[in-house]
Amino acid sequence: MTHRNVAIRAAESNAGSDVASADALSSESRQSEKFEVRRAELAAAALATLNDFGYARTSLREIAQKSGFSHGVFHYYFRDKVELITYCVREYKLACVGHYAEIASSATSAEQVRLAFAAALAASARDDTPMHRLWYDLRNQSMFDEDFHADVTEVDSSLEVMIWSIVSTYAAFHTTEIALPRRTVYALFDGLFQQCLLDIHTGSTDALATLQQGVWQLFPRLLVGFGSPDMA
Amino acid sequence: MTHRNVAIRAAESNAGSDVASADALSSESRQSEKFEVRRAELAAAALATLNDFGYARTSLREIAQKSGFSHGVFHYYFRDKVELITYCVREYKLACVGHYAEIASSATSAEQVRLAFAAALAASARDDTPMHRLWYDLRNQSMFDEDFHADVTEVDSSLEVMIWSIVSTYAAFHTTEIALPRRTVYALFDGLFQQCLLDIHTGSTDALATLQQGVWQLFPRLLVGFGSPDMA
DNA sequence: GCCTTTTTTGGACAGTTGTATAAATTCTCC
DNA sequence: GGAGAATTTATACAACTGTCCAAAAAAGGC
């Protein structure tokens, strides 16, 4: 199998993975499943190095050295560096969105939603600091590098939808509606979260508490029905 | 003059620039003033390339080639790449903070403050898109690279103070107070602004309008006295 | 067991990076 | 205008980059 075929195969294994699990495993599908597993392993290794060094300072050789693989194997499973990093971005999405999905579904009151979400954001900022830092790095990179743009935008949209779902749940318990556009709501929470990350890296001791309180305070201000003289 | 002296001289000319302008120009101060002017020229050239390519893809040679200087001259005026980029970050601050300072001072009503600021932010996002993009790039880089941290934090604080000043003016016209911490208020505006930049780069046609409206809607929600059942 | 295919390896390549430095140029001041 | 200092240039260097590729190794099927 030549190098040209690798990229094709990668595309196939993406599209055919559902079929493979539903069917009695044919030789081909088992093969491509194994291929996909290996891809995920390599991507996880890459993610570890990206977490440490960020996009600008991460090279394939560094990834390889840190993970124990040879640097050549990455070009067998990924067409180039861009495809590898793109794959990592998608991993981020799955890890992140799935993490918050349950909050909206298991809520019993407005107060519980905003408390739980504020706590969850703070916990994630604390536990997954390097991953989130990398996300903002790659998202920014997408403004300079057209190659990342599509995937970054897709992940960003997922996060936007996730946040909107949570705030919607909160608004429903108050039997009112959200006063701001979906994208704006996301921008506000994202601003709070990103600043928390920055503060963590400056050594601030109350960065998490500030995030948690900020999120908590933000919730009611997103709803309609809190009349101010100059609100439109 | 050897290389070792360059860094020392650069430090001197920073500290001594005030003295130079106040005094009858001595030979030394005029010399260092000229030195400082050249530094600024080179930094401006570097900024132009950074604007285009971002931190990860900008090399000294590229800067040199684009600006017509030889790449060696940058090491005569700057100790290394870090010092050059750090200098550029400071330039950003001066350009940015000075741009919004007048809004707070020339305001005559609450409504005018928030209208003017919303318009000013949108205008800046439109006119200085590459510069702001670079700012977020470098700010993120500071989470990976300790070298940038101090300068980035300083600029970030200036922006925070600037925003607080404007919102304070708005609150004063309403004879009330701001309900959120200073850093949180900054985070919210920053989130709106950064997302506008992202949307501009995805080709969104209403990114500026969304920013302007978002900022406009945010203002009243930052104040106390808009009673909601679960506001603390 | 052996033959084919898949997978992995590590070296080679051309290009780029930041930095150092010596030579050449320009400027300054007497 | 010429001695000395300041500035600029171009080259050199070692390290690193992404990519390619031929050969070695491992796995799979019969």
Give pLDDT tens digits for A151-208: 999 999 999 999 999 999 999 999 999 999 999 999 999 999 999 999 999 999 999 9
pLDDT at B104: 81
Mean pLDDT of A59-85: 95
Spell out the SS3 assignment of A75-141: HHHCCCHHHHHHHHHHHHHHHHHHHHHHHHHCCCCHHHHHHHHHHHHHHHHHHCHHHHHHHHHHHHH
Scanning B174-205, the segments in alpha helix (DSSP H) are 182-201
CA-closest candidate to residue B35, choices B64, B11, B62, B67: B11
Contact assignment for A140 to B133 by CB distance below 8 Å: yes
CA distance linking residue A192 with residue B103, whole number of Å = 25
Instruction: Write down which residues 80-119 in A have CB closer than 7 A to strand D.
Output: 80-82
Kindly report the pTM of this predicted structure. 0.89
Least confident of A1-5, A187-191, A227-231: A1-5
Question: What is chain A's mean pLDDT, rounded?
Answer: 87
Q: Does B209 touch chain A (CB under 8 A)?
A: no
Q: How far is the CA of B211 from the C1' of C10 (A)?
A: 52
Q: Which residues of chain B have pLDDT under 50?
A: 1-25, 229
Mean pLDDT of A108-113: 95
**Chain A residues whose beta carbon lies within 8 Å of the beta carbon of residue B209:** none
Is the pLDDT score of A42 beyond 80?
yes
Q: What letter represents residue B47's amino acid? A: L
Are the beta carbons of B192 and B214 closer than 8 angstroms?
yes
Is the pLDDT score of A20 beyond 60?
no
pLDDT at B139: 97
Residue of B142, B186, B191 lying closest to A190 (CB–CB): B191
Please tell me the distance in Å from B137's CA to the nearest CA on chain A: 6
Please tell me the distance in Å from A54's CA to the nearest CA on chain B: 6
pLDDT at A227: 53
Q: How far is the CA of B134 from the C1' of C19 (A)?
A: 25
Mean pLDDT of A10-14: 44
Q: How open is the CA angle B143-B146-B151, to the nearest 5 degrees? A: 90
pLDDT at B30: 61
Chain center to CA of A86: 12
Q: Does B190 touch chain A (CB under 8 A)?
A: yes
pLDDT at B1: 43
